[in-house]
Structure 1
Amino acid sequence: MADEGLRPIIVKRIKKGGGGHHGGAWKIAYADFVTAMMAFFLLMWLLGSTAKGDLNGIAEYFKTPLKVAMAGGSGSGDANTVLPGGGKDLTRQEGQLRKGENEVVNKRSVRAAQAELEKAERQRLDELKKRIETAIDSSPTLKQFKNQLLIDITSEGLRIQIVDEKNRPMFALASAQLQPYTREILREIGKTLNDVPNKISLSGHTDATPYSSGEKGYSNWELSADRANASRRELISGGMDESKVLRVVGLSSAVLLDKEDPFNPINRRISIIVMNKKAEELVQNGGSSSLDVTSDSDVKDGLSEQPAKN
């Protein structure tokens, strides 16, 4: 009996588990299941309500999402959607394009930008024309040669023509040696040509009077080219940047100013064209151009005071 008082007392404690079906863990799993089912049914409803074009667009987006995002096309709104993205037209997302329409919009934007550039370039050439005319009127020396200067705007740019007069030729007879007043005219023009970034085309022209040796030796072709190159040197001496010259050509009597009289002194001329961008690109790409082609109406309008015969 005395030993029983010394026995240790053992206390058994039973730990309760998760509570079986009475616990709360199942509620979290059920909530996840309901959320997944709701998302699934929402997806099925969207797929069932989406037009075929939109389905193709969605498929295209997941194939090449970056291409669609950058370039548009069938993956960026090829058909009306049941969930319009806003804008004035609620049946179609504003700013989205059908496949192929983005190319049309890009072409229109390029044309609009090109038109603006051409307009600005035309304004620059008009201003240059006025400055040259003002310089001629304000210079007593140049003013007396005003009848020999033809300045107009053509489809290629600003054209400045210096023509011969019966008693006042630009060059020595059958030579590329410039007369002193011709040097002064060219140098005065050269001062103003740096005001625009456009390139320059120079061409020399003669009348139809042939050399005694004919076309086999030194002919009007060589003479017209030499005169054009001599004019180039004087423009540079006047201050024009030599890098502005894009072309120097001799055209002999191939492009007459007075087509009715090939021997008229006014057919002997130097033509300076401040080319627009379109003409520059045409020359740089090796294409042909209608530079220096003058109509008969220009002869009548611009040279009414010129002598008709030698």
Structure 2
Amino acid sequence: MSDDSQRPIVVKKIKKGGHGHHGGAWKIAYADFVTAMMAFFLLMWLLGSVSKGNLKGIADYFQNPLKVASSGGEGAGDATSVIKGGGQDLTKQTGQVKKGDPPTEDSAAKDRKRLSDLKKKFEALMDDKSQTSTKLKQFKSQLKLDMVAEGLRIQIVDEQNRPMFKSGSSELEPYAREILHEIASLLQEVPNALSLSGHTDAAQFAGGSAGFSNWELSSERANASRRELIAGGMADSKVLRVNGFGDKVPLNTENIYDPVNRRISIVVLNTEAERDIKEQAGRTTDQSAAASEPASAN
């Protein structure tokens, strides 16, 4: 039997091979990932800065490219209208005329306070017992003050035995002129623009030239009041609109022949109403500002 202790000891060493060289493929994949993320965030930023109208136009393009291409338009949100898009509501698909900046909450509050103070001043002059000479106090029953959506409304109404105008005419009675002169001095104290409206009762106009009706009579009376306010010291530039409503907006709806329906309505406009009137007339705020600037010499 052989002696095992004499056998040679064999030590086997296993050499583990290193990882093979994989090249730079992982770097390319990582670069593609980073590029894709940058493109994604850039897309999110662009979508966040684009108006809703343009987003709607982009969506319309992918749904129906031919329609948008044939309609044209800069922002696609105005592609269905010949009027270029814009305005405050960018969700509209049809074009909008760009509006001026709306009044801020602070400026609107100042506007309301100014008109409220003017109303209190009118009421004080009509009620103050010491102001015995004021025409506003003497004709208090013919003056009506109230706040409406457009601003402060001052209505001068007829009474049965004390009309403002001569019958069927736009000629003011002497006391009506004095009322308008006193009102003019107060209106001149505020920067707000004015709107004047003339109204008649439902009695049909019986005299005058052919075709002359309550429409013409109410318009001429409103314009006569405008001239008298200017004669009383109010700036002509303060008047923004002169209307004639005929007998279509009676003050006393239960009796359309009531003398109180014959009246002149003066509205001291707030800033929002003034802007709306200009836009309805087709004049934007930007154009109004440009018109108020002095023309340069050629």
> Match of 2:182?
188
Instruction: State the shift of 1:113 in Å.
Output: 6.0
Alignment of 1:52-201 (within 5 A): 53-54=37-38, 56-57=40-41, 60=42, 99-100=47-48, 114-138=104-128, 139-140=131-132, 141-201=135-195
For 1:209, the equivalent position in structure 2 comes to 203
Q: 1:147 to 1:102 in 2, by over 3 A?
A: farther
Shift of 1:102: 8.9
The gaps in structure 1 that reach 5 residues or longer are: 1-42, 61-73, 79-96, 289-310
User: What CA deviation, in whole Å up to 9, does each residue of 1:7-62 have, x standing for no partner?
Assistant: xxxxxxxxxxxxxxxxxxxxxxxxxxxxxxxxxxxx99x979979655544xx4xx
Match of residue 232 from structure 1: 226
Structure 2: distance between partners of 1:135 and 1:153: 18
Query: How do 1:219-258 and structure 2 match up within 5 A?
Result: 219-258=213-252
Q: How far off is 1:206 after superposition?
A: 0.6
Q: Deviations 1:115-145 (Å, cap 9, x if unpaired)?
A: 3322221111111111222233343232121
Q: Is the 8 A contact 2:168 2:207 kept in 1?
A: no
Alpha carbons of 1:216 and 1:112: their partners in 2 closer, same or farther (altered >3 Å)? closer
Instruction: Find the partner of 1:272 among 266, 279, 282.
Output: 266
Go from structure 1 to structure 2 and tell me whether the alpha carbon gap of 1:111 and 1:283 turns closer, same or farther (over 3 Å shift).
closer
CA distance in structure 1 between the aligned counterparts of 2:103 and 2:36, rounded to whole angstroms: 37
Q: Tell me the SS of whatever aligns to 1:100.
A: helix
1:253, distance to aligned residue in structure 2 (A): 0.5
2:264 alignment partner, SS class: strand
RMSD, aligned CA: 3.2
Q: Distance in 1 between matches of 2:187 and 2:147?
A: 15
**Aligned-pair CA distance for 1:218:** 2.2
Partner Cα separation in structure 2 for residue 51 and residue 184 of structure 1: 80
Identical-residue share of aligned pairs (%): 47
- Is the contact between residue 103 and residue 271 of structure 2 (CA under 8 Å) also seen in structure 1? no
Moved more, 130-139 or 238-247: 130-139
Q: Provide, for residues 78-103 of structure 1, a one-character-per-residue CA deviation record: whole Å limited to 9, x for no partner.
A: 5xxxxxxxxxxxxxxxxxx8952797
User: Match of 1:206, as an amino acid?
Assistant: T
* 1:272 Cα deviation from its structure 2 partner: 0.3
Matched to 1:226, the amino acid is E
Q: Give the residue type in structure 1 aligned to 2:48.
A: G
Question: TM-score if structure 1 supplies the norm length?
Answer: 0.58
Q: Secondary structure at the match of 2:104?
A: helix
Q: In structure 2, how many angstroms separate the alpha carbons of the residues matched to 1:275 and 1:256?
A: 21
Return the alpha-carbon distance in structure 2 between the equivalents of residues 50 and 279 of structure 1: 54
2:110 maps to amino acid = A
SS at match of 2:118: helix
Alignment correspondent of 1:12: none
Q: Name the SS of the counterpart of 1:285 in structure 2.
A: helix
* Shift in CA distance, 214/100, structure 1 to aligned 2, threshold 3 Å: farther
Unaligned runs of 5+ in 2: 1-26, 53-87, 89-99, 283-298
